[in-house]
Amino acid sequence: SQQGEEDPQALSIQEGENATMNCSYKTSINNLQWYRQNSGRGLVHLILIRSNEREKHSGRLRVTLDTSKKSSSLLITASRAADTASYFCATAPLRAGGTSYGKLTFGQGTILTVHP
Amino acid sequence: GAGVSQSPSNKVTEKGKDVELRCDPISGHTALYWYRQSLGQGLEFLIYFQGNSAPDKSGLPSDRFSAERTGGSVSTLTIQRTQQEDSAVYLCASSDSGVRGRETQYFGPGTRLLVL
């Protein structure tokens, strides 16, 4: 099964509302990353949060990480129609010495639809 | 600067034929990854290169799949005797390295492979 399980599988909201997506994982990680994908093509990196960080912000994005619960959330505030996409969390494993070579394990993704 | 590029964008082939997929990483990036995205399996890791060597090939689904990287730059993923279950989007990503602060992976637009 996938390392990351995302919830919900699909989310439909109105423009201006906030969107929250959750991700759970199973093993120890070095970092967790969120990606966005439009129309099944290339992935765009949104934000990376390290295992020793609890919260990170980037523009309208807020990511939290709870390593005790092995979970993360992505909040998009004041959503726009252009935010419509699939969002994936991905985890990089923790290796000896606290390093990671970066192999990512992806969740199944959340399909976000923002209605104008 | 240029991002990760992949060619071809789309490939339609007949079952049993061989195909080659190409990835041009961001200049200077030492780490290169191949992933596959299919409807049934989500996003899966295939192989990781550091320079020209591949320390992790654990995601290659069968011995019909192989990959190489030359000059620490371009990589080619080869699928021999293609099967219908090989149909998927093949994504390439590169990063500066697995060193802290440079783990972000930048993805190409992908190659959509359809095996008839």
Could B103 and A35 be called an inter-chain contact, meaning their C-beta atoms sit closer than 8 Å? no
Q: Does A5 touch chain B (CB under 8 A)?
A: no
Region B72-77: what's the mean pLDDT? Answer: 95
* Collapsed DSSP state (helix, strand, coil) of residue B4: coil
Residue B53 has pLDDT above 50, yes or no: yes
Contacts of B108 in chain A (CB under 8 A): 42
Give the per-residue pLDDT at A99.
58
Kindly determine whether residue B56 and residue A88, on different chains, have CB atoms separated by under 8 Å. no
| Peptide linkage before A116 cis (omega within 30 of 0) | no
More confident residue, B76 or B30: B76
Render pLDDT for A57-104 as a digit per residue (tens, 0 to 9).
999 999 999 999 999 999 999 999 999 999 999 998 877 665 556 688
Residues of B in contact with A100 (CB under 8 A): 98, 103
Compare CB distances from B105 to A104, A107, A109 and report the shortest one's residue.
A104
Collapsing DSSP to helix, strand or coil, A53 comes out as coil
pLDDT of residue A30: 86
DSSP A4: B
**pLDDT tens string A17-57:** 999 999 999 988 888 999 999 876 789 999 999 999 999 99
Contact (CB, 8 A) for B104 and A48: yes
Quickly state the pLDDT bin for A5 (edges 50, 70, 90).
Answer: confident
pLDDT digits (tens, 9 = 90+) for B88-100: 999 999 998 656 6
- Which residues 58-87 in chain B show a CB within 8 A of chain A? none
Q: Which residues of B52-73 are buried (b: 16+ CB within 10 A; e: fewer)?
A: eebeeeebbeeeebebebeebb
Give the whole-angstrom CA distance, residue B6 versus residue A48. 24
Residues in chain A with CB shorter than 8 Å from the CB of B56 are 101, 103
